[in-house]
Structure 1
C-alpha cells in the first residue's frame, strides 16, 4: 500500500506519522517492464519531500491496520460483521448485520467498496427519493480483479527492490520491498466480458483465502526482475495475507448523503 502527501498531513495531525514512518519505506522510483522483462521505462520523483512536504511511503497494509487498531478501544471494534441493510430515521441511522445484530449511531461511514452492502442499501434509499445520479446506476464497461499480498521475511541478498508491469496479456503485476525484508505484491486481472464483470462484482463480498487458489495458478508463471516467478513469491506469502478486491473503471458521483451517510469507494 502507498500513501502520499494527500493524506500524510492528516496522519501527522493525528500524531501517527512517526509510527507510520517506522513501518514504511520511501517510494520514489518506478521501473516498468513488459511480460518478457524488457524495460519499458523508469520514473524517478526527485525532491518530493521538498516540494510536497512528504515522501510517498510504501508499506504492508496489515501493518497500517495494526497501527490504527492500536489507537481504538477494543470495545469499539467489531469483527466478522456483514452489513445487510441500513435504516435512517429522525434519530440517526441503524445498521443490521447478517448475524441479526443491530447498531445505532449518528453517522454511518461506508468504506468497504463500491459494491458493498452499505452502498447498495444506500442506493436503494436514494433511488426511492430520486436522489441517485443516473451515472451511478450504469454498469461498468470493464472490470478488474486485484489480488494482493505481503510475503514473509526474505533474504535481502536474493531479492531487490523493483517493480514490474506486464503488457499484452490481461494481467499486470507489481512488487516492492517494505521493512523487515518483505515484499508487497499485486496482480491485476482484466475481466474479458461485461457478463464476467457482473458475476465477479456480486461475488466480491464472498471472496476468501480459498477462492484465491484458482487465480494464483493462473499467474504463477509470470516472470519478475527478482529472478523469481510470481508463483515463487506468492509461495512465500502466508495465505491469510492474500486478499483480492473488485476494481471499478468509473468514478461515482455519490459520495455523501445528508445527513447521516458518508460513502468511501475504492478507485481504479
Structure 2
C-alpha cells in the first residue's frame, strides 16, 4: 500500500479524537493519516461514559463540545450505599466547577462515539484491518494486517484497546533489545467479566431523579457475603453487571443471561423496582459482555510508535480524561 504520514490503529474514542485533532490543523499544515480499524462494521459498546472536567476545553477546541453538551448531563455526586440500602457516604463533584469552571458530564457512549465519527471523513477509516504485526526502523513504520495488506507511515499511533496489537508488537521488539521493564511484559490479570448496557428511555414518574438537571451515581457495595458491587447512573439508565471469579475460565462460561439473572430480583438503589426492570428495558443489542482488567504500563512509546488510551493504561481514562461507568460489579 502507499505511504501516509500517520497511521492510527483503532477507531474508538481515543483514535477518533486524535483524527479530529489532525482534521483541525490549518490547511497549510495538514497531515495525511489513515485509521486502521479491525471491525468490519462500526459499533460502540452500550455503556455510559463520563468526561472529566479537564477534557472539556479540548473538546471545545476540537469543535465537538456543543454537540456533546446537548446529549450529556453534568455530574453532581456519587452516593455510596451499603448492601442493605443504607447510606455510607457521598463524593461531591462540585470541585470540577470550582477548579476548572466546568462540571464533568455523563452520556451514552454510543452517542459520544457517533459524534466523534461524524467529524472524521469515512475515507480516512479503513474497516476490516486487523493488525497482526508492526515493524519499524529509522525510515518509517509498517502495519501488517490479517488480510495480507501492509500500510506504511512515518508515525504509528496505537489506540487499539487493552489487547493492543501495536503494543504487543512494540513490546516484543523492545524486549528483544533489552529496552522494556519486566513490569510491562507481565500478563494482564483477568479475573472479572462485565455485562454493560443502556436502557431505553425510562419514565421520570417512576424514576424522579431523571427530572433533575444533573446526573448522580448510586453505588451499592456488595460486602464480603455479597460478591458484587453496583453502580448506576440515572440519566442514561445504564446497567452493568461485573462478575468476579478467581478462575477466569469459569467466569468466561457465564452468559449475559446467567449473569443478569443473578441480579434480577434485587431492589435497585433508585428506590423503584428491581434490576430486572432495568434489564427488561435494555435492548439486547445494547448489552455487551466484556473482560474487565486494570494495569498500567510504564512504556508508552518506542521509535516511531506511540500508545494512547487503553493501549497504554488498561482500565484507566481514555485520553487521560474519559471514564467508563459500569453499573453492576460482581
Report TM bin, short chain.
0.7 to 0.9
Q: Does the 8 Å contact 1:132/1:254 carry over to 2?
A: yes
Instruction: Give me the TM-score of the superposition, normalised by structure 1.
Output: 0.82
* From 232, 245, 267, the counterpart of 1:175: 232
Structure with more relative contact order (C-alpha pairs < 8 Å, separation 6 or more) = 2
Q: Does the 8 Å contact 2:188/2:293 carry over to 1?
A: yes
Partners of 2:260 and 2:128 lie apart in 1 by 25
Q: Deviations over 1:25-44 (max 9, x none)?
A: 00111111223322222233
> Please, what is the CA RMSD of the aligned residues?
2.8
Instruction: Give me the TM-score of the superposition, normalised by structure 2.
Output: 0.68
Q: 1:166 maps to which residue?
A: 221
Q: Deviations over 1:65-112 (max 9, x none)?
A: 011000000111233443222222344222233333333323222223
Partners of 2:174 and 2:200 lie apart in 1 by 45
Number of matched pairs: 255
Match of 1:85, SS?
A: strand
Q: 2:268 maps to which residue?
A: 224
Structure 2: segments with no counterpart, 5+ residues = 1-48, 210-216, 317-330
Q: 1:188 maps to which residue?
A: 242
Partners of 2:148 and 2:269 lie apart in 1 by 49
**After the TM superposition, which of the residue ranges 248-257 and 19-28 deviates more from structure 2?**
248-257
Structure 1: segments with no counterpart, 5+ residues = none
Q: 1:262 maps to which residue?
A: 307
**1:99-178 correspondence runs (5 A):** 99-139=147-187, 143-161=191-209, 162-168=217-223, 169-178=226-235
Q: Does the 8 Å contact 2:78/2:90 carry over to 1?
A: yes
- How far apart are 1:253 and its partner, in Å? 0.8
**1:7-46 correspondence runs (5 A):** 7-46=55-94
